[in-house]
Structure 1
Amino acid sequence: MKVLKVLAVAGALSAVTGVAMADDAVVHDSYAFDAHQLAPVGVRAEVGTTGYGGALLWQANPYVGLALGYNGGDISWSDDLSINGTKYDMDMDNKLAYLNAEIRPWGASDNRWAQALYIAAGAAYVDNQYDLTKNVGTNASVEIDGNRFNGGANGVSIAGNLKYDNDIAPYVGFGFAPKINKNWGVFGEVGAYYTGNPKVTLASNNNGLVGSDGRTLGQTLSDQENKIANKDEYKWLPVGKVGVNFYW
């Protein structure tokens, strides 16, 4: 599966960059290469669901640009993560490097708002990890995989992690990046990486505790791990980010 994803990404990027490099601004009738096209035209600062960071920006022609960037850190928009119906406290660690082609269908339009619309397609090296914890007090209960457990005399604690480990993931997204003036602009983008199912591990301090449907807590956590490993909704890593562009 990973080999197929890499081949698909390589083919998509080759097609896009091939169109860009065939533009008259890059390849002239005399086939003389314009070295100025290799220089970035701007930089970007961004923050979102995959962390905070920035990117270098290139513009091959009015219709096609490139963004090479990195997102990282432990920023998160929420302190919890719902997995298969159970909420866990979350500590996020993002490491993501990406290369996107930004395709502007109306890049040559006289309408600056139409110019600002783009489709992003590319790939990223994803190495994100989410540390998960769930503590159930003595007078509380929790439902995991449809099985309800009471905290008991000593309570129950669950810990684990969910990670997208060292994976190349293709990406598609939609963005809006209007210029404020010659040098400054803002942008917003939403999309998703196809990562395949993440790796997840869950463990408890009381695996022998029996729940409402007769399964132990250890067996229930194992069943939940298997479902996450095979459920389609976890194959996609959603992305939402905003930021500022600077052009020189």
Structure 2
Amino acid sequence: MKKMHYVLMLMGLALFSTTTTFAKSEASLRAEGGISGYGGAILYHVHPTVNLVLGYNGGGISWKNQLSILGAQTDLKVENDVSYFNINYYPWGKSDNPWLSALYTSIGMGYVDNKYNLHRNFRLGEKRPGILNNSFFPKNKEVDVRGYVDFSNGISPYFGLGFSPQLNEHRGVFTEVGLYYVGEATAHVTHINKHKLPGFVPANFTTFKLGNHNFVAWSPVAKTGVTYRF
């Protein structure tokens, strides 16, 4: 699946090369960071009202650090890995008002390959899910549970709203909020007390479909950054 990231990066290099060759002022670079990670993007200004955006976000920034699984709160560690392609539309892009012309909507798609790792240690005497209270895991021993979460969508549709004013001819700033539809979440328990599953406990213990009360199918985006227009 990593090949998708490489394809998008090559597309970005081709886009950047084309825009800087044929129209000096039609290409921008931006650096960005937020709850969906940090990274950057290449922008191609097709028209005063339309931009094409190709970017990447990564890193261990998380909007959610706990997840309810087996009836207990479990620590959640996120490693972002998102390549995206968006189209930004500026409804008032031709306006003489610099603040009004900076408003835009964004639609597109992202290849969301985030890693969501689970971990919970149940100490002696601590209340724990009933499925752990069996002959394998007596109450007089600690239980260490590890696993991960994935989603049904690899390619995820995106919608966002943003504001990107130019400070001068070349430099600007931006902020954007949005949502990826990542689909249904599934939790997989892969290790308990350092024993790999399945086989150590009943097979139906290894996978859990998570409803929206545990993990939403929409992954939020909130980021800000700086831009440089050539």
TM-score normalised by the chain length of structure 2: 0.72
Q: From the superposition, tell whether residues 164 and 40 of structure 1 become closer, same or farther in structure 2 (CA, over 3 Å).
A: farther
Q: Is the contact made by 1:39 and 1:58 (CA closer than 8 Å) also made in structure 2? A: no
Amino acid at match of 1:244: V
> 1:88 deviation in Å?
2.2
Q: Which runs of 5+ in 1 are unaligned?
A: 1-34, 207-217
Question: How far apart, CA to CA, are the structure 2 residues paired with 1:92 and 1:184?
Answer: 32
> 1:171 deviation in Å?
0.6
Question: How far apart, CA to CA, are the structure 2 residues paired with 1:142 and 1:113?
Answer: 54
Amino acid at match of 1:184: R
TM-score normalised by the chain length of structure 1: 0.68
Question: Residue 123 in 1 paired to residue 109 in 2?
Answer: yes
Given the alignment, which residue of 110, 122, 130 partners 1:136?
122
Q: Is the contact made by 1:97 and 1:126 (CA closer than 8 Å) also made in structure 2? A: yes
Question: How far apart, CA to CA, are the structure 2 residues paired with 1:194 and 1:166?
Answer: 8
Classify the secondary structure of the residue corresponding to 2:73: strand
Hey, what does 1:61 align to over in structure 2? 47
Hey, what does 1:102 align to over in structure 2? 88
Question: Residue 246 in 1 paired to residue 228 in 2?
Answer: yes
How many pairs does the alignment contain? 197
Residues 178-215 of structure 1: CA deviation (Å, up to 9, x unaligned):
22222221111111111211342025637xxxxxxxxx
Task: State, as a whole percentage, how many aligned pairs show the same letter.
Answer: 37
Question: Residue 169 in 1 paired to residue 152 in 2?
Answer: no
Amino acid at match of 2:170: N
Q: From the superposition, tell whether residues 57 and 162 of structure 1 become closer, same or farther in structure 2 (CA, over 3 Å).
A: same
Q: How does 1:1-248 map to 2 (within 5 A)?
A: 36=22, 40-76=26-62, 80-83=65-68, 86-142=72-128, 152-164=139-151, 167-202=154-189, 205=192, 222=205, 225-226=208-209, 228=210, 231=212, 234-248=216-230
> 1:155 deviation in Å?
2.1
Choose between structure 1 and 2: higher helix proportion. Answer: 1
Residues 2-33 of structure 1: CA deviation (Å, up to 9, x unaligned):
xxxxxxxxxxxxxxxxxxxxxxxxxxxxxxxx
Question: How far apart, CA to CA, are the structure 1 residues paired with 2:43 and 2:25?
Answer: 9
Amino acid at match of 1:161: Y
Amino acid at match of 1:94: N
Q: Is the contact made by 1:127 and 1:166 (CA closer than 8 Å) also made in structure 2? A: no
